[in-house]
């Protein structure tokens, strides 16, 4: 047992060496195995009881562990379950002087990588430790490469290396210096605002204002005042004159998110600004000149809105000079894990944690989900996972996915995978379900459906939904 073991030279720095837990209630075994582990490049943590090791795991999770099978309080198999829950990639080797075939089989089923009998065969122990050390090093190298890949795949807040995203990034670069108006289309949560911000950042107006308005969040009667401002006394409550967003964006860029929600009178005034650069505050006949680049975004198919008379054709063609289509996340599955790793890096910093990555089960869940909420949904899922995860790796149970939506929206909303039933029927059922779940609260139902309350009222009228919902608040 005491035969000398050569120490590797030069020794790697401690922070670069894998951590090995040695857990045994025999001090002699702890001393011998620790000395052997150090000589093969490990940082050693020794524990006389599994419970002490479990406490330490929260602070310094192991890369590998040699664990005695029979110990008081918690036996080796129970500890194996615990360590696999907290550190799924930890390589665990069980040690015992009372080994049986059945115990070895159970240990392997629970995730042990091997089983050592006492007294030790040091040649076998050496081979095991070298294999574990090298595999761990390869795993860390892969994680570092993936982190480097994320950095190279970032583009003004967006992440992607799939062909469709590389094409989108190239289009943004070419358009940004020259656009006067641009239309960005894509499903809710796909990253349309990031595209708008990239256009601004790469334009000649990058040092000028970037002003945003979410059209689905504005009360219809306040649209004109919000965009164009008002004079004192223009309407009840207008106690002072106020500049609108177009004036605030003068010389810069204004981003109109969900432009399909604009009421018809506001559409006409917006068209005048786009064509002549002129506007007037509510309550004033004085024309003001503004120099503003306009970026509009929508999750609607505006051609259908035009056909149905809900959106002006002349405004649509004025906005559609440049169209950038943001793909749904399910249409670029090669990017899912890349984006997920970027979110985990960000959340790790926010929460003060060291989260290395995902287990294969977690990766499979992330890649197989349809992500009806797109990148926004992915971010929310991973934010929760990073907040609750105990160890270094996000495992399958940490990835709690929401109920997939039965529809991507009405016929004038960009389709997803497509339902089997007629889409109007599915949409009506989804609206009624949301109203049922919120006890008829239209504001909350609209929020759950991802539409404005005004849009919900339109659909209730379209589907001829009567009491009790037609009169509910």
Number of domains in the chain: 4
Same domain flag for 169 and 238: yes
Q: Which residue has the higher pLDDT, 74 or 322?
A: 322
| 3 lies in some domain | no
Q: What is the pLDDT of residue 175?
A: 95
Same domain flag for 164 and 212: yes
Same domain flag for 285 and 392: no
Same domain flag for 441 and 307: no
> Domain end: 150, 172, 191, which one?
150
Same domain flag for 122 and 241: no
DSSP-assigned beta bridge partners for residue 155: 158
Please, are residues 3 and 46 in contact by the beta-carbon 8 Å criterion? no
Please determine, for residue 253, whether its predicted confidence score (pLDDT) is greater than 90.
yes
| 138 lies in some domain | yes
Most confident by average pLDDT, 96-105, 196-205, 232-241 = 196-205
Portion of the chain with pLDDT greater than 90, in percent: 36
Question: Of the ranges 49-63, 91-105, 225-239, 301-315, which one carries the lowest mean pLDDT score?
Answer: 91-105
Please, are residues 262 and 223 in contact by the beta-carbon 8 Å criterion? yes
| 411 lies in some domain | no
Same domain flag for 130 and 257: no
The CA-to-CA distance between both ends of the chain, in Å, stands at: 80
Q: How confident is the model at residue 469 (pLDDT cuts 50, 70, 90)?
A: low
CATH of the domain at 380: 1.10.8.60
Please determine, for residue 101, whether its predicted confidence score (pLDDT) is greater than 60.
no
Q: How confident is the model at residue 238 (pLDDT cuts 50, 70, 90)?
A: low
Q: Checking DSSP bridges between strand 158-159 and strand 154-155, what pairing results, if any?
A: antiparallel
Q: How confident is the model at residue 109 (pLDDT cuts 50, 70, 90)?
A: low
Please determine, for residue 208, whether its predicted confidence score (pLDDT) is greater than 80.
yes
Reduced to 3 states (helix: H, G, I; strand: E, B; else coil), residue 44 is strand
**Token code pair at residue 181:** 């108006």
| 2 lies in some domain | no
DSSP-assigned beta bridge partners for residue 358: 394
| 412 lies in some domain | no
Q: What is the pLDDT of residue 267?
A: 94
**What confidence tens digit (pLDDT) does each residue in 277-311 have?**
998 888 888 889 999 999 999 999 999 999 999 99
Same domain flag for 251 and 377: no
DSSP-assigned beta bridge partners for residue 295: 182, 255
Question: Of the ranges 154-158, 227-231, 377-381, which one carries the lowest mean pLDDT score?
Answer: 227-231
Please determine, for residue 15, whether its predicted confidence score (pLDDT) is greater than 60.
no
Same domain flag for 431 and 379: no
Same domain flag for 314 and 388: no
Same domain flag for 52 and 32: yes
Same domain flag for 191 and 273: yes
| 406 lies in some domain | no
pTM value?
0.66
| 221 lies in some domain | yes
> Domain end: 115, 150, 185, which one?
150
φ and ψ of 99, to 5 deg = -75, 145
CATH of the domain at 452: 1.10.10.60
**What confidence tens digit (pLDDT) does each residue in 364-412 have?**
899 999 999 999 999 999 998 898 887 778 888 888 875 444 333 445 6
Count of Cβ atoms closer than 10 Å to residue 408 Cβ: 21
CATH of the domain at 112: 3.40.50.2300
Please determine, for residue 327, whether its predicted confidence score (pLDDT) is greater than 80.
yes
Please determine, for residue 7, whether its predicted confidence score (pLDDT) is greater than 50.
no
Q: How confident is the model at residue 426 (pLDDT cuts 50, 70, 90)?
A: low
What is the domain range of residue 54? 14-150
> Domain end: 125, 150, 175, which one?
150
Q: What is the pLDDT of residue 405?
A: 40
| Overall average pLDDT of the 93-101 stretch | 71
Instruction: Report CA torsion sign: 370, 375, 377, 381.
Output: positive
CATH of the domain at 313: 3.40.50.300
Mean of per-residue pLDDT scores for the chain = 82
| 414 lies in some domain | no
User: How far, in Å, CA of 373 to CA of 64, rounded?
Assistant: 38
Please determine, for residue 188, whether its predicted confidence score (pLDDT) is greater than 80.
yes
SS3 annotation, 394-456: ECHHHCCCCCCCCCCCCCCECCCCCCCCCHHHHHHHHHHHHHHHCCCCHHHHHHHHCCCHHHH
| Overall average pLDDT of the 97-111 stretch | 63
Same domain flag for 231 and 277: yes
Please determine, for residue 14, whether its predicted confidence score (pLDDT) is greater than 60.
no
């Amino acid at each position: 047992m005491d035969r000398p073991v050569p120490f590797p030279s030069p020794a790697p720095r401690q922070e670069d060496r894998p951590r090995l837990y040695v857990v045994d209630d025999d001090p002699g075994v702890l001393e011998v195995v620790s000395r052997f582990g150090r000589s093969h490049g490990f940082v050693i943590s020794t524990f006389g009881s599994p419970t002490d090791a479990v406490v330490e795991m929260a602070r310094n999770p192991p890369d590998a562990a040699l664990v005695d099978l029979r110990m008081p309080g918690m036996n080796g198999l129970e500890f194996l379950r615990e360590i696999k829950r907290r550190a799924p990639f930890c390589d665990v080797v069980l040690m015992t002087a009372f080994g049986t075939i059945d115990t070895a089989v159970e240990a392997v089923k629970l995730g042990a990588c091997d089983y050592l009998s006492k007294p030790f065969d040091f040649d076998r122990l050496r081979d095991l430790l070298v294999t574990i050390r090298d595999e761990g090093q390869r795993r860390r190298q892969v994680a570092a490469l993936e982190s480097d890949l994320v950095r190279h795949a970032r583009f003004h807040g967006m992440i992607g290396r799939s062909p469709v995203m590389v094409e989108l990034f190239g289009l943004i670069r070419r358009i940004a210096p020259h656009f006067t108006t641009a239309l960005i289309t894509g499903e809710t949560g796909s990253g349309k605002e990031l595209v708008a911000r990239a256009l601004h950042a790469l334009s000649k107006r990058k040092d000028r204002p970037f002003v945003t308005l979410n059209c689905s969040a504005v009360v219809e009667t306040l649209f004109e005042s919000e965009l164009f401002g008002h004079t004192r006394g223009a309407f009840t409550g207008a106690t002072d004159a106020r500049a609108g967003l177009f004036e605030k964006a003068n010389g810069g860029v204004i981003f109109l998110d969900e432009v399909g929600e604009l009421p018809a009178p506001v559409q006409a005034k917006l068209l005048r600004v786009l064509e002549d650069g002129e506007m007037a505050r509510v309550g004033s006949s004085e024309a003001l000149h503004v120099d503003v680049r306009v970026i509009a975004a929508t999750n609607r198919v505006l051609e259908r809105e035009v056909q149905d008379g809900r959106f002006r054709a002349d405004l649509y063609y004025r906005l559609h000079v440049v169209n950038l289509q943001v793909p749904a996340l399910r249409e670029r599955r090669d990017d899912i894990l890349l984006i997920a790793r970027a979110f985990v890096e960000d959340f790790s910093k926010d929460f003060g944690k060291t989260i290395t990555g995902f287990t294969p089960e977690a990766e499979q869940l992330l890649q197989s989900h349809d992500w009806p909420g797109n990148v926004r949904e992915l971010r929310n899922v991973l934010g929760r996972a990073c907040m609750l995860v105990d160890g270094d790796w996000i495992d399958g149970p940490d990835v709690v996915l929401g109920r997939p939506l039965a529809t991507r929206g009405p016929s004038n909303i960009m389709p997803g995978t497509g339902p089997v039933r007629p889409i109007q029927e599915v949409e009506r059922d989804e609206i009624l379900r949301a109203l049922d779940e919120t006890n008829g609260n239209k504001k909350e139902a609209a929020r759950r459906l991802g539409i404005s309350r005004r849009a919900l009222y339109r659909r209730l009228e379209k589907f001829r939904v009567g009491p009790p919902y037609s009169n509910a608040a």
